Amino acid sequence: MSELTIKSTGQMISTETIDGDIATLNLGPTHPATHGIFQNILKVDGERILSAEPTIGYIHRAFEKLAERRPYNQITPITDRLNYCSSPINNIGWHMTVEKLAGIEVPKRVDYMRVIVMELARIADHLVCNSVIGVDTGALTGFTYMFQEREKIYELYEEICGARLTTNVGRIGGFERDFSPTFHAKLEKFLAEFPDNFEEFDRLLTRNRIFMDRVIGAGPITAKRALEYSFSGPNLRAAGVDYDVRVMNPYASYQDFDFDIPVGKDGDTYDRFVVRQEEIRQSVRIIRQALEKMPKGDFHANVPEFYLPPKEEVYRSMESLIYHFKIVMGETAIPAGEVYHAVEGGNGELGYYLVSDGGRTPYRLHFRRPCFIYYQAYPEMIVDSVLSDAILTMSSMNVIAGELDA
Amino acid sequence: MDNQQVLAHIASLLGTEPNATVDKYGMLNVQLDATTLISVVEGLKNEHQFIYLTDICAAHYPDRVGSEYEVIYHLHNLVANQRVRLKVALPETQISLPTLTGLYAGANWMERETFDFYGVNFEGHPDLRRILNMDDMDYHPLRKQYGLEDETRTDKNDTFFGR
């Protein structure tokens, strides 16, 4: 290994050169292999990367500023657009944050329904990431098969909320409607068929000699560095740290389910791939348990101040009309206070720091976006490797532009 | 480890009893100032296993005269699963406090983001530039004096609803 030095700007640079003929290469902002809009200015000597300087913010939409003008229920569609590969987790995380602030207790059934939706979202998120790692190594086949499976998950979302990508699923207090019989039928079919199709994909790549040679050792990070960089989610677990918000600070009754947290060893592209593969299997396990143990009860909490009444009630009863009007106009009273609530998003600890002064909108809302925090380690992970490994490292870190730039 | 023990650790690091509250959601909030921040965070990290920096952000309270800005740190002890929230209040005249990049590598971009949106100066930061907004922007947009909408617009006037 050559020596790495740290420049005054904190940037890592490699001192080893091949022939001293250094070129500057713009990787992005609109390079197809970056799967999103971000730029990296690379200094390369042949294929070897000497330094990298990421520029982000190309799709910054000022969500934190927007949230300061919107009533609480109108912020859910903003959260859709963070990590848009697993929007339901963002939506439900936000609902739970507001419920925590307002002291709303939801029925157990809502928790189990949420777990099912969030684990479906996790499967969809990891499928995209892992199949794209395949694409970036030149194996397109698995991608086409796994996107069919993702399509089935999107059809399940459609059954729940009518939307597919930006789901805006659920409400503060629960869900807008109960799971329909069609949803249950489709979910049963999915659970019956998906594991076999998924294992077929797994057989295409996980023990494939060509794939393993390609990804083992690409873009590694040690557990110590990953913790110093505040990594979370599959990327941290691939480095060998078993931190998962679902286990550490259970929310939505995750403590009721029996599942394993896979960890890796080297924190390289292969470990990140394998950890995500195993998490998909565990998610299927959680969904099965949730379906089996689904308690009877209501699909929303009894909180008329936050939860829209049925439309026919609005025409008939005065209270419903008043609540409907107040919710739609964003006039619901909410206690002052500040909360931090975290959920395990597709990429790691997705946190909401919410300060309320009792007004109709948040006084301050900060999203702790896992992508934003771990992407800063990217230069360190690719310096001294080759350009093709840099592409793989980026796709295996699952950097989602929407979450990165908020 | 519970909130009381963390508070005792912080008090021994400071030498005095800090201004702290446990909010109704169970999180310990500790008020620090810019001069004591580094020693407390260093002690929490090196002696009490708060090895994980969850988040850094700021908030702007124009009504609090003399402490208009607040920088908020969330630390997490992954061994004992204990979180703590540290707050540093800063006056408008000197929105400046030392950087945590020497303790946590991940603080780098979090502080750049805070600088970008609130103009908080992190002394000793290796590369304090804007990160999400464009480089030639000449204000810090999350400060409360900058409205979300164009101030001259009248079509979004909400006065009929008492606001």
pLDDT band at A360 (very low <50, low <70, confident <90, very high): confident
Instruction: Output the average pLDDT for chain B.
Output: 90
Residue B73 CA to residue A194 CA, distance in Å, equals 42
pLDDT digits (tens, 9 = 90+) for A295-314: 999 999 999 999 999 999 99
**Helix (H/G/I), strand (E/B), else coil: B112:** helix
Same-domain pairing of A158 and A39: no
Among chain A residues, the shortest Cα distance to B62 is held by A363
pLDDT digits (tens, 9 = 90+) for A144-179: 999 999 999 999 999 999 999 999 999 999 999 999
- At residue B1, the pLDDT reads 81
pLDDT band at A19 (very low <50, low <70, confident <90, very high): low
**By the 8 A CB rule, do A245 and A342 touch?**
yes
Output DSSP code: residue B133. Answer: S
- At residue A14, the pLDDT reads 61
pLDDT band at A18 (very low <50, low <70, confident <90, very high): low
- At residue B161, the pLDDT reads 58
**By the 8 A CB rule, do A120 and A167 touch?**
no
Is it the case that residue A1 has pLDDT exceeding 50?
A: no
Output DSSP code: residue B86. Answer: E
Same-domain pairing of A32 and A70: no
Share of chain B above pLDDT 70, in %: 93
Q: Do B83 and A349 touch (CB under 8 A)?
A: no
Compare CB distances from B25 to A68, A100, A373 and report the shortest one's residue. A100
Is it the case that residue A34 has pLDDT exceeding 80?
A: no
pLDDT digits (tens, 9 = 90+) for A40-50: 899 988 888 99
Mean pLDDT of A17-28: 77
Contacts of B109 in chain A (CB under 8 A): 372-373, 375-376
Closest CA to A190 of A108, A291, A294, A297: A291
- At residue B162, the pLDDT reads 52
Angstrom CA distances, A216 to A69, A129, A236, stand at 47, 17, 17
Q: Average the pLDDT over each of A19-28, A159-168, B60-69 and give the range with the smallest value.
A: A19-28
Compare CB distances from A230 to B85, B101, B104 and report the shortest one's residue. B104
Same-domain pairing of A29 and A103: no
Q: Do B104 and A228 touch (CB under 8 A)?
A: yes
**By the 8 A CB rule, do B69 and B95 touch?**
yes
Question: Does this complex have an ipTM over 0.90?
Answer: yes
How many structural domains does chain A have?
2
Same-domain pairing of A171 and A255: yes
Compare CB distances from A230 to B27, B52, B163 and report the shortest one's residue. B52
- At residue A359, the pLDDT reads 85
Contacts of B28 in chain A (CB under 8 A): none
Mean pLDDT of B137-149: 88
Closest CA to A401 of A27, A90, A58, A54: A58
pLDDT digits (tens, 9 = 90+) for A89-140: 999 999 999 999 999 999 999 999 999 999 999 999 999 999 999 999 989 9
Mean pLDDT of A328-339: 89
Same-domain pairing of A228 and A140: yes
Output DSSP code: residue B103. Answer: T
| Length of chain B measured in residues | 163
- At residue A2, the pLDDT reads 45
Mean pLDDT of A179-193: 95
Same-domain pairing of A120 and A262: yes
The tokens for A169 are 């699923």
Angstrom CA distances, B147 to A17, A60, A67, A72, stand at 51, 17, 12, 18
Same-domain pairing of A229 and A286: yes
Report the CATH number at residue A98: 1.10.645.10
Q: Average the pLDDT over each of A23-37, A209-223, A273-287, B42-56 and give the range with the smallest value.
A: A23-37
| Residue A25 bridge partners (DSSP) | A42
Closest CA to A405 of A26, A82, A125, A80: A82
Q: How buried is residue A318: exposed, middle or buried, by Cβ count under 10 Å (0-12/13-18/19+)?
A: exposed
Contacts of B74 in chain A (CB under 8 A): 340, 351, 353, 368
Residue A125 CA to residue A83 CA, distance in Å, equals 9
Provide the shortest C-alpha distance from residue A244 to chain B (in Å).
Answer: 10
Instruction: Output the average pLDDT for chain A.
Output: 91
Mean pLDDT of B125-146: 92
Share of chain A above pLDDT 70, in %: 95
Compare CB distances from A376 to B54, B108, B117 and report the shortest one's residue. B108
pLDDT digits (tens, 9 = 90+) for A54-87: 999 999 999 999 999 889 999 999 999 999 999 9
Best of A8, A96, A340 to substitute, by most chain B Cβ atoms within 10 angstroms, is A340
Contacts of B163 in chain A (CB under 8 A): 360
pLDDT digits (tens, 9 = 90+) for B71-118: 999 999 999 999 999 999 999 999 999 999 999 999 999 999 999 999
Asked which of A55, A71, A97 is the last residue of a domain, the reply is: A55
- Phi and psi at residue B47, in whole multiples of 5°? -105, -25
Contacts of A231 in chain B (CB under 8 A): 106
Task: Write out the CATH class of domain B3-144.
Answer: alpha beta
Same-domain pairing of A13 and A94: no
Provide the shortest C-alpha distance from residue A336 to chain B (in Å).
Answer: 11
The three state secondary structure string of chain A is: CCCEEECCCCCEEECCCCCCCCEEEEECCCCHHHCCCCEEEEEEECCEEEEEEEECCCCCCCHHHHHCCCCHHHCHHHHHCCCCCCHHHHHHHHHHHHHHHHCCCCCHHHHHHHHHHHHHHHHHHHHHHHHHHHHHCCCHHHHHHHHHHHHHHHHHHHHHHCCCCCCCCCECCECCCCCCHHHHHHHHHHHHHHHHHHHHHHHHHCCCHHHHHHHCCCCCCCHHHHHHCCCCCHHHHHCCCCCCHHHHCCCCCHHHCCCCCCCCCCCCHHHHHHHHHHHHHHHHHHHHHHHHHCCCCCCECCCCCCCCCCHHHHHHCHHHHHHHHHHHCCCCCCCCEEEEEEEECCCCEEEEEEEECCCCCCCEEEEECHHHHHHCCHHHHHCCCEHHHHHHHHHHHCCCHHHHHC
Best of B24, B30, B57, B159 to substitute, by most chain A Cβ atoms within 10 angstroms, is B57
Contacts of B106 in chain A (CB under 8 A): 228-231, 373-374, 376-377
Same-domain pairing of A303 and A160: yes
Domain segments of chain B: what residues? Answer: 3-144
Among chain B residues, the shortest Cα distance to A10 is held by B126
Same-domain pairing of A295 and A358: yes
pLDDT band at A216 (very low <50, low <70, confident <90, very high): very high
Among chain B residues, the shortest Cα distance to A360 is held by B163
The tokens for A90 are 């963002």
Full domain range(s) for residue A140: 63-405
Is it the case that residue B136 has pLDDT exceeding 50?
A: yes
**Helix (H/G/I), strand (E/B), else coil: B160:** helix
Q: Do B51 and A227 touch (CB under 8 A)?
A: yes
Same-domain pairing of A181 and A36: no
- Half-sphere exposure at residue A291, Cβ-oriented, CA atoms within 13 angstroms: 19
Q: Average the pLDDT over each of A34-38, A265-269, B108-112 and give the range with the smallest value.
A: A34-38
pLDDT band at B159 (very low <50, low <70, confident <90, very high): low
- At residue A5, the pLDDT reads 52
Same-domain pairing of A359 and A284: yes
Q: Average the pLDDT over each of A131-140, A193-202, B48-57, B143-152 and give the range with the smallest value.
A: B143-152
Q: Average the pLDDT over each of A65-69, A292-296, B157-161 and give the range with the smallest value.
A: B157-161
